């Protein structure tokens, strides 16, 4: 399976590392992922961003669920090989779809992937226009620390709904609510903030949380 990779940070000596998966309409160069990756590197935490096969092939439509799951597993294994760290020292996560699939492999019913924590940036609790069909059936199988960073205007995960769904998670859960930001982390102009400001807030929160584990 061909994946595109971007690795940052020390390859040896760290006691934890982070995997960052991209959202459906982006790739590993997405601004939020780059901001988080740079902040982690500056804190001495190695991290790996990757492109799913459809992006490597230059396609826009995501791969099948089977391929997305397999690719996420392969990327997590690649991070372990690059850093010489065991799976339970790796924090897995990413933006939107990428975060969802890291949570799915960790919460897999038959073959769960061990991890130190889940970093879920803009978790898509439901598809656009389908609020009745929640993507949280596997939350009850998550028994590790989880950080959700979501905008207060996220149309794919309302604050009340996401908070309610996350109660199924048995591990410690933290929320970072990005004021006035939408699912793409774009804030309202009236807020006086830019998307760069929001990405910096996400990056700071991610580093703090990863360091606390």
Domain map of the chain by residue range?
4-212
Looking at residue 187, what is its pLDDT? 98
Name the average pLDDT for the chain. Answer: 97
pLDDT for 132 equals: 86
Sheet holding 117-121, edge to edge: 4-8, 47-51, 17-21, 90-95, 117-121, 146-151, 173-178
Q: Which residue has the tokens 């590392």?
A: 17
Q: Which of 45, 41, 36 has its CA nearest to residue 16?
A: 45
pLDDT for the residue numbered 129: 86
The pLDDT assigned to 131 comes to 85
Q: What pLDDT is recorded for position 83? A: 97
Total length of the chain: 213
How high is the pLDDT of residue 95?
98
pLDDT along the chain (213 residues), means of 10: 94 95 97 98 98 97 98 98 96 98 98 98 94 94 98 97 98 98 97 97 98 98
Instruction: State pLDDT tens for residues 147-165.
Output: 999 999 999 999 999 999 9
Give residue 1's pLDDT. Answer: 84
- CA-based angle 126:128:133, to the nearest 5? 35
4-212 fold: Rossmann fold (3.40.50)
């Amino acid at each position: 399976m061909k994946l595109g990779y971007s690795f940052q940070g020390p390859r040896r000596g760290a006691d934890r590392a982070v995997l960052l998966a991209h959202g459906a309409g982006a790739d590993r160069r997405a601004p939020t992922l780059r901001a988080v990756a740079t902040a982690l590197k500056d804190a001495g935490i190695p991290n790996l961003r990757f492109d799913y096969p459809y992006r490597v092939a230059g396609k826009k439509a995501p791969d099948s669920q089977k391929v997305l799951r397999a690719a996420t597993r392969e990327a997590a294994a690649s991070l372990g090989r690059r850093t010489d760290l065991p799976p339970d020292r790796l924090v897995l996560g990413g933006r939107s779809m990428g975060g969802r699939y890291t949570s799915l492999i960790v919460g897999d019913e038959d073959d769960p992937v061990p991890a130190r924590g889940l970093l879920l940036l803009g978790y898509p609790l439901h598809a656009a226009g389908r609020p009745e069909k929640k993507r949280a059936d596997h939350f009850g199988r998550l028994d590790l620390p989880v950080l959700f960073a979501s905008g207060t205007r996220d149309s794919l995960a309302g604050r009340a709904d996401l908070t309610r769904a996350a109660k199924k998670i048995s591990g410690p859960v933290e929320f970072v609510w990005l004021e006035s930001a939408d699912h793409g982390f774009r804030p309202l102009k009236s807020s006086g903030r830019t998307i760069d400001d929001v990405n910096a807030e996400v990056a700071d929160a991610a580093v703090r949380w990863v360091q606390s584990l």
